[in-house]
Structure 1
């Protein structure tokens, strides 16, 4: 949800929102970043790597947002990570650094992301896992059996 001057922007209003993720670098106290279906947003997810207070990242339908998953690995306070419909790359194994706090992981429509499901086995606090449209990811669901919170 994005609010501007007390007004929640949605639908046609939301399409007026533009900019680059790098504009958020100075928001070091930001805890929740929720940007959805804002096609004019650009940038690299590495712009978020210094935002150490982030607890929730929800990025949907930002086709012009690029970068590598590894740039998020230092966000150890992250509870919720949703990446859907972005132009990101990288290997699932780089998400291992999120193990201390991550409870929700949703990855969808990321055809350039690679790796094996077994690399998620260390995310012991996971309570929700959603995977879809990860055409370069392999592995057996049995490798997730240690995630008893699911």
Structure 2
């Protein structure tokens, strides 16, 4: 289920949105890539992750980091609040285009730091590996969009 959610939010939905807008409205590719990867990758993914972390902190603590101590759940919930904040910024960039670059920079920096942290952990499980690949993947997309 986790892999399916990541594939939809980080690949399928952004690419579909880019394709639809490019066909309907046209325009340069880089702004569309940045727009839709921010909306789906930062807005939807981090927003939904935040809600899950706040309401079910054990999932992140146990499934991703393999920490079963209930005390860790308070920290996961605080991470959830930050993710909800980034998610809101990403989603609001649809209504307020001036939010797009701050959402990309903030979300991209979060993903870069989290992805590097995942990469440096020697004993990653499958779920953490998926998180690492998707985190670093969206950073690459943001960097490519910035360079185009």
> Normalising to structure 1: TM-score of the pair?
0.23
> Normalising to structure 2: TM-score of the pair?
0.23
Greater strand share, structure number: 1
Greater helix share, structure number: 2
Structure with the larger RCO, 1 or 2 (CA within 8 Å, 6+ apart):
2
